[in-house]
Amino acid sequence: MHFIGRGAEAILYKKNSYLVKKRVSKGYRIKELDEKLRRKRTLNEVNLMVKARRNGITVPAIVEKDMEEYKITMEFIEGKILKDFLEKFDKKKREDVCHKIGKNITKLHSSGIMHGDLTTSNIILNNGELYIVDFGLGKNSKKIEDFAVDLNLIKRALIAKHNKIWKLVFKKILENYTLKEKEKVIERMEKIEKRGRYA
Ligand SMILES: Nc1ncnc2c1ncn2[C@@H]1O[C@H](COP(=O)(O)OP(=O)(O)OP(=O)(O)O)[C@@H](O)[C@H]1O
Ligand SMILES: [Mg+2]
């Protein structure tokens, strides 16, 4: 067993060739709510990852879910998270990654999946193959609003963590985002931004 990390609400470790993600109890939440959230997010994550994989999106394969301990066992993906390599890549490699991100978000949305936490820590690159993880805050959705929130999230994550190159990167991602309703999604994203600015 090899400790990988502690996220906002889960601990992660490697066991053989698997990654185990266990949602632990948060003392500051009342017990009923705590159980409810851990249950909901664990189920969400499993269901959406299974659905994503069926629709041809590269996500780690789910191996097991344990609803007693709110624990998911999935394929371990060797590689690096986007946050750690985006700046290090040359232009060509970066564009290739942006292409893949745009295409993957398109596929998620056209499959009726909102990711809900699209950040550069939730994208892993493994031998040129891009994997998306962390679906606990996602949902089944076909709403323009939800897709716009996804785009807004990745944009904000890029601005926050990759301030020198975010514009180029986001532009390339959007170029490769080819959802049928793309225009509407982008329009809505701009509205969300304005809402954020004046709120
Ligand atoms: N299947 C996997 N294989 C390898 N590494 C993984 C895998 N899943 C997650 N990781 C690594 O663990 C980190 C945290 O995982 P994840 O984002 O799922 O948890 P989290 O941020 O704590 O989630 P939550 O917001 O649901 O609490 C990722 O950024 C990634 O580095
Ligand atoms: Mg995460």
Query: Is 147's C-beta closer than 6 angstroms to any atom of ligand 1?
Result: no
Q: What is the pLDDT of residue 1?
A: 84
Domain 2-75 architecture: 2-Layer Sandwich (3.30)
> Closest-lying ligand to the alpha carbon of 8?
1
> Closest-lying ligand to the alpha carbon of 45?
1
Q: What is the pLDDT of residue 100?
A: 97
Ranges of residues in the chain with a pLDDT under 50 are none
- 112-166 residue pLDDT tens: 999 999 999 999 999 989 999 999 999 999 999 999 999 999 999 999 999 999 9
Sequence-ordered alpha helix ranges (H) in the chain: 31-54, 82-85, 91-110, 144-161, 166-175, 182-198
Q: Measure Cα distances from 25 to 13, 22, 70, 72, 186 in Å.
A: 17, 10, 10, 15, 37
Count CB neighbours of 13 within 10 A.
16
Encoded amino acid at 25, one letter: S
Q: What is the pLDDT of residue 199?
A: 62
Q: Tell the CATH topology of 80-198.
A: Transferase(Phosphotransferase); domain 1 (1.10.510)
Q: At which residue do the structure tokens 């490769």 appear?
A: 176
Instruction: Name the residue of 4, 18, 76, 137 to mutate for ligand 1: max ligand atoms within 8 A of Cβ.
Output: 4
Atom of ligand 1 nearest to the CA of 136: 26
Say how far apart CA 160 and CA 57 lie, in whole Å: 26
Query: Is 77's C-beta closer than 6 angstroms to any atom of ligand 1?
Result: yes
All CATH 3.30.200.20 domain ranges in the chain, comma separated: 2-75
Say how far apart CA 172 and CA 66 lie, in whole Å: 39
